[in-house]
Structure 1
Amino acid sequence: MLKQDLDSLTPTRDFSRRDFVAISLGSGFAAAVLPVSAQTITTDTAGLTAGPVSIPVGGFALPAYRAAPAGRSDLPIVLVISEIFGVHEHIADVARRFAKQGYLAIAPEMFVRQGDAKAYSDIPKLIAEVVSKKGDAETMQDLDATVAWATANGGNRARLGVTGFCWGGRITWLYTAHNPQVKAGVAWYGRLVGEATPLAPKHPVDVAGTLNGPVLGLYGEK
């Protein structure tokens, strides 16, 4: 292939970031969590509608991984919020497990504006360059748009739950306090306290008294 042909196929930086993340959503594991155990659980898609979707957030197209029982509607919705590594294969598998139980499960790629979280193998660098730049206000807006999309695509927002891992565990508390329609949340560890900053003005301990539904927090001392 001629060089000019290759050049014509080279995407812009904005295209490569958003489109690459969307295309690879839910496939493969984040570089920072490799190697993967041979005992890793894999849930099939039999009987499910599963795969990447695009959620409008203002003028932005937010990639997400959706899994739901095929051909059904009025489904309870569960938001699946990833750790700092984004929506890799394990998060997609969790969504499929929920779908097998009758939920419309959806995992938005929360860091797509900041970078490709799955590509980082160095965790401090990932936090500094990507995660630390994601603000809570934008996160709440993204999750509100995700609920709206799920409601318009077979979900019932009157039966809304949220679960998240580590970074997503913290967000589980915040979103349960933010959205009056959340019926329950489950936080798989994550920060409970911290310094107030412009991007993260409150933490779970600050909103625990204003939750709209019960939150089960799963934490281990050792």
Structure 2
Amino acid sequence: MLTLTRPDGTPSVDLHLTRRGAVGMFFVGYAVAALSAEAAPIMTPADGLIIEEVTIPNGAASPLPAYVARPKGKGRHATIVVVNEIFGIHEYIKDICRRLATLGYVAVAPDFFYRAGVNLPALTDFAEIRKVVAQASPEQVDGDVRATIGWIKGAAFANPGKIGITGFCWGGGVVWRAAIEDAEIKAGVAWYGQLKPVIARATELKAPVLGLYGALDQGIPQTDVEAMRAALKAAGKTGSDIHVYADAQHGFHADYRASYNEADAKDGWARMLAHFKANGVA
């Protein structure tokens, strides 16, 4: 298994990736830049689900696109905002949404990088990917999260009192910040998101966050993890916690990457669901 050397992804030269493997996987929608030729991603069928591509009014000239997966039938369901990695809305993120929808959730994955007009999953140059990501300022992303929550609250199939958020890599950082900025969010789960920007803001958390991190992550040092734990304790945020997997790298949940750790990914998924349930998002 190869090591992800960067907190928000790894250049393709660091991955065991063949041209044949990249092309084959690209046609089913995975991010080429972080793809492992040996990957066997989970493929969740859409049976019993409604899959939609919607646009969410956010005050911009062009509204915010989002991928939505939800159960068929009537009723209002707890809803999870799913925040992508730096690769945008590719098949891994869509499958996360379908996995949640098969469990009875509405899952909404906004395309936070849509303003750049770039097909991020198709890019192989990390310098170009980072340029796109850098255009999405924290203020802009926070505004898009608020717009998404507003859209969820107005949807006939969503329970407006049961909104959670989860995110991976870049999206993990968004989760911590959203739990600070948005009072409508009841719980968050951050998968290996950067901690440095939010350690000093632990006192501002409005919702409990579960952080899932890897001890072998070379981009998020354990000193940051311990600093965040200390900040949460000092702030009395007893509902928030960080779990560290001793044998996990960055991206250990991403089943299309070489960093995928099946046992830790499954355990983290179970912890995520338990955290949402314990905090009324179920």
Q: TM above 0.5, one fold? A: yes
Question: How far off is 1:184 after superposition?
Answer: 0.7
Q: Which runs of 5+ in 2 are unaligned?
A: 1-27, 217-282
Which residue number corresponds to residue 217 of structure 1? 211
Paired letter, 1:48: L
Structure 2 counterparts to residues 190-205 of structure 1, below 5 A: 190-193=193-196, 203-205=197-199
Q: CA deviation at 1:166?
A: 0.5
- Corresponding residue for residue 80 of structure 1: 82
Q: Deviations over 1:104-161 (max 9, x none)?
A: 100001101124222221223311x211111111111111111122222221221110
Q: Which residue of 2 aligns with 1:34?
A: 35
Partner AA of 1:94 in structure 2: I
Give the whole-Å Cα distance in 2 for the aligned partners of 1:205 and 1:39.
36
Deviates further, 87-96 or 133-142: 133-142
Question: In structure 2, the residue corresponding to 1:130 is in which secondary structure?
Answer: helix
Letter in 1 for 2:167: G
TM (normalized to structure 1)? Answer: 0.79
Q: Distance in 1 between matches of 2:142 and 2:127?
A: 24
Alpha-carbon distance in structure 2 between the residues aligned to 1:103 and 1:118: 26
Superposed structure 1 runs of 4+ greater than 6 Å apart: none
CA deviation map 1:27-77 (0-9, x unaligned): 601121224545210111111111311111114221110001112332111
User: What residue number does 1:46 align with?
Assistant: 47
Is the CA contact 1:173–1:207 (under 8 Å) kept in the aligned structure 2? no
- Relative to structure 1, the CA distance from residue 39 to residue 31 in structure 2 (aligned partners, 3 Å threshold; closer, same or farther) is closer
Q: TM-score, normalised by structure 2?
A: 0.63
Structure-1 separation of matches of 2:154 and 2:73: 14
Compare the two structures and name the one with the higher strand fraction: 1
Residue 231 of structure 2 aligns with which residue?
Answer: none
Determine the C-alpha separation between the residues in 2 that align with 1:144 and 1:125: 27
RMSD across aligned positions (CA): 1.5
Deviates more, 1:159-168 or 1:36-45: 36-45
The residue type paired with residue 95 of structure 1 is C
Q: Which moved more, 1:114-123 or 1:132-141?
A: 114-123
State the aligned residue count.
Answer: 186
Q: Which residue pairs with 2:220 in the alignment? A: none
Tell me the equivalent position of 2:125: 122
Distance 1:102 1:70 in 2: 9
Give the superposition deviation at 1:217. Answer: 0.6
Indicate the residue corresponding to 1:173 in structure 2. 176
- Percent of paired sites with the same residue: 41
Contact 1:111 1:130 in 2 (8 A): yes
